[in-house]
Structure 1
Amino acid sequence: MKNRRLIITLLISCILLCCTAQAVTLRITVVDEETYDAVSGASVYVDGDYVGSTSSSGTYSYVHSEDDDLYLKIVRTGYRNWMGYVDYDATRARVEMIREDEILTFELYDAGTLQPISGAVVDVEGDDYSDSEVTGRDGSAEFSVRSGESYDVEISASGYYDLSKTVEMENSARVVQYWLFSNDLLAVQVQDSETSEPIEGAEVFVDNARAGATDADGRLQLHLERAERYSIKVTAADYQTYLENRYFETDDVLLQVDLVKSAYPVSITAFNEAKNPIEGAEVYLNGMFQGKTNEYGRLVFSDLHGGTYQIVVKAPGYGDWSETYLITGAGEDIVAQLGYDRASVTIRAKDPDNNPVAGAAVVIDGQVIGTTDGLGCLNTPLVTNKVYAVTAACEGYRNISVNAEIPLGTTEFTVPLVMEQDFDIWMLAAGVGVVAALLLAVVMIVRRRRAARNRGKSRGRDSL
């Protein structure tokens, strides 16, 4: 039995040795036809079947035991497919792949008008490559170039600055877009000299002729020949006029204009509800403290710049006054009328024994405010710096009226009302009458009982 197993093992070993002796390893090397650089990631097909891909060194090893020639196919994006036969006993195969042509498209646009530029000359230079095209009506030009290579591009067009670029082609078609700047284009940027904020709607004049108005970004594009002198004027509402005679060099592309705001005399006067001036009122412009009003309730600005301001006036004992004003001219007198602060006023009704009077109706200056609660209190807000006529009425109590003055600046105030009980004389007489009747009834009952006792005693004596 052991001999039989040994014989089988020897036979299997012989078969494996024979097969190993017939196996062939084919080393495939894939390179670029022009640069001879290794091409990695190339797909390898043998007799139509995918077997693997090349490594980073551009190689792939294929082990086989075929006795017929191999049909080899190499596929790589950006290259033309390579196909050919390799001898069955070959151990090396070198494949040189040819790059596939791709379309490189240029699209040119005017940087100012955003319109396509036709008639521009585009020159493309590369290794063993040179070509030139003119853009059509759509501003485009196409070139057939090799993928994976670098190209130098020169673009020129009448009335525009020349443009130089370098384009790297990948393994697919590519579209590149460029702006061309007019060589007579001049941009005007108008802004506030203090805040640097753009000024929209500023009027620009060139040699006394209106050239246009700035946009929301404070910009306006002009077309001026260079190496010339021009008179530039810029105007805007509430700003001082900008005027300059300037010579523009060929390299000048931007004119920055800083406008200074115009200054106007402005006064702010604070009054109270009684039309009396408020001295010492604080004035704020856009959140910044500017000063206090004088004895006439006035604060004067001799040179306030034109523009929009948030004006706030504050004074002790008064509510804040706030308004937004557009300062556009001289001699403005702004009037701020401040209302008095309101105090939380408590009307407290009680009797002479200091007990609360609930349900008392409260009238202030002829207007019913409400009734007192279980604690004899009623709370209401009232304007300060004023005298009020306060009246309270409640059944069983005499009406009471007082004058209460709420001092300026007071936040809480209490008006005490002492209400005396009201005794009705008829009700008192009726009460006395009821008591007298009760006493009379008691006397009559007592007398009847005594008379009954006396009669009982008399019958007793008679029976004896």
Structure 2
Amino acid sequence: MRNALSVFLCLVLFVTALANYTLASSIIYVNIYPPKSAQPNSINYYLKPGNDVLILFRVSAIPALGSMNSFFVTITHSGDALNYEIYNGVNNPNSPGSPIQRGGLSSPTSILFPWDSDFVNVPAGQRTKLVSPVGLRIVNTGKKAGTVSIKIGVNESVGGLVVNSKPSGASVYIDNKFIGTTPLNISGIKTGTHVVRISYQGYADRVRTVIIRPHRYEFISETLLTPANTGSLYVDSNPRGASIYLDDNYEGETPRRIDFIPVGSHTVRLSKEGYRDYVQQVWIQANQTTTISISLIVEAIRYKLSINSNPSGARVFVDGIPRGITPTYTYVTPGYHQVKLELEGYLDYEETVHITRDMLLNINLQVAEGALVVFSEPSGADVYVDDRYYGRTPITIQRIPAGRRIVTIKMPGYADWTDDVLIEPGKISQVSATLKLAGTLQVSSSPPGAKVYLDGKDIGVTPLSNSGVPEGTHNLSVELFGYKPWQGIVEILPRQTTNIFAKLEPAPIDISGLTVSPQVYKVKTPFKKDLSINFTITKPATVTVEIRDMEDRVIDVLMSNFKSSVPKLEVKWRRDISPGNYKVVVIAVDEDGNQAYREAIFRVEEESLLNWILYGIFGLLILWIISILL
């Protein structure tokens, strides 16, 4: 009895240990060398359903080359359902421990791994100090195989933002672009100032200005207020057209009503060229409208400040306020003012000017330049920057225009090495490339003319010969409309030729990807949109597209017996029909008489009376503006 109990306990311990012991289908190592190098800096991996890949990022701290601030990973994939997990301090790849973050993997997904600050888990909010090696596991949980592409950047000038709200599920907009819903972790945001708006139906919007710093996360946490805890403010001025700033947030021009303002004290500032700024504290009461009407005071003396630049097109800031694009002018009060010009590819220009009369500034902007140090193994490789030849490795290239540059390293017998490198003004960037021996890949097919994809990248059509393929295993796909894709794994040997012949089999007729947009089609509206129907067929066929009601009665025929020799088709339709549910029916028949059938449902609705009233008011407003202009 005692022996049986011991065996049982051992079995329990074994199963428990096995539950935490996960064998990865494949393990890929990425070595990160500060300040700017990752080897490899990009990965393409063909992932079948049920398989996974574990990427281990090993960070080497080399003081002689520079400090380690962060690395940044961008993931794209062609699968239908992928998940990811992040592990910290992975000592045993087959037992990485518990993930510090996991979730579904959309395409593209960006992840920032800060090295001199904490990694933030969302939605848990847990902060973790990263320890090398860091693991990223990607699992194909769908039914479709696909290629996962991973690009690694080191010490790039990007940061992250964590946004939380109560209640959660609020929409987040950065610089008026929808990003996602709270709780939200956003990586890869360019450094600088951004406007963040948090919006949730039935609650007042919250607007925040945030400064994104490189290599770290910023945090926003907002408790949204219901209309019961908000009021309104009506602002007018004489003269009208003054800019309104509420708590330093721009709200438009007078006259204007501002809704959903949190109850309490707020600062209102009015600003208009030629007049003194007006500042007032206002108290907002729940469910009430506070009204202020201000007569602005004419500024006694203002001088014209004209600003030109070479080249033109620079953004102008006077005392931190945007004043247009050069050539431009503005009016300022006597005294000292700070002038700043910004133009991509050029150094920022800043100057303090003393205004005692009208002034003209003619500014010559200096090209922003940096330097690039390029190493390769083996050395002696040719270096190209934006297709311009500079010499052989090792090489230091001075005075390269700032910005993103395409660096290519070539050497006979080796595969070309290419990467997107950020050249920062006044700084030295570094590239270190390990060249891979190359072989030749020759691909032919029956029938010929098929597209060839190597690791997901289009490299031409059959028959083809490519002499710059890196040694090792690669995923190869040969595709031709009307035939089943041919897929396989090829082994490229250095300085040898690999021949592949793909015999393509005819594909059965099928229809996929049928979509109807918009799902709610509006009729009896002055702003009518087309109904867009998109779908894909697997082989040349005769195609018919119809609109039917839910009892299968034909309402309209959009396409009848159309002979299509291309896979992707789009059909547009516009017509007023009775409200209700309808369906789009697509029928494809191949040359052998085989048939495929697909349908998609959409809804038809009439425009509401309220919208018609708003359209009428808008039309009258346009006519009124035209009458004033004439």
- TM-score, normalised with respect to structure 2: 0.22
Bigger fraction of residues in helix: 1
Bigger fraction of residues in strand: 2
- TM-score, normalised with respect to structure 1: 0.28
Q: Who wins on radius of gyration, i.e. which is larger?
A: 1
